[in-house]
Amino acid sequence: MSLNEEKDLSVKIYKIVNFSSAHKLDLPYQSRCNTLHGHNYKSELWIKGKLDENGMVIDFHDLKKVIKNIDHINLSDKFEWQTTAENLSKYLLNQIYQLSPNTIEKIKVRVWETETAYAEVSKSFNN
């Protein structure tokens, strides 16, 4: 059996990309997060899907570009929503899906805000 005959094969890829950004939250209670501060984030990306004509689920470089769009910026200036780790995870999931909506079956995104705290989202897609 040749590689080209594996049309129904699902492949899972994984990428870690670090980024640094500032933000502040607008919480209805007193919190240090309500003032401008920064994090050295770590994102972990899992993507499961079918191989495209280039033999990839998604190009790793394209995943890095998604993260680089939020690297070294004030997230609160870029987005109207609360830039929590939870919302950043959802944002990254949606951005990744748009890279290859015809081949992606599942995405999981984990965003570490500190060494001890992360948010994680995952979604399956019917393709």
72 is catalytic: yes
**CB–CB of 111/41 below 8 Å?**
yes
Token digits of residue 33: 């997060």
The DSSP result for 7-44, as a single string, is TT-EEEEEEEEEEEEEE----SS--GGGS-EEEEEEEE
Q: Which of 5, 6, 33, 39 is catalytic?
A: 33
Q: Which of 37, 39, 61, 72 is catalytic?
A: 72
73: DSSP letter? S
Cα distances (Å, whole numbers) of residue 90 to 13, 72, 77, 103, 119: 18, 19, 18, 19, 9
Q: Which of 5, 80, 113, 115 is catalytic?
A: 113
113 is catalytic: yes
**Beta strands 37-50 and 117-124, pairing class:** unpaired
33 is catalytic: yes
Active site residues: 33, 72, 113
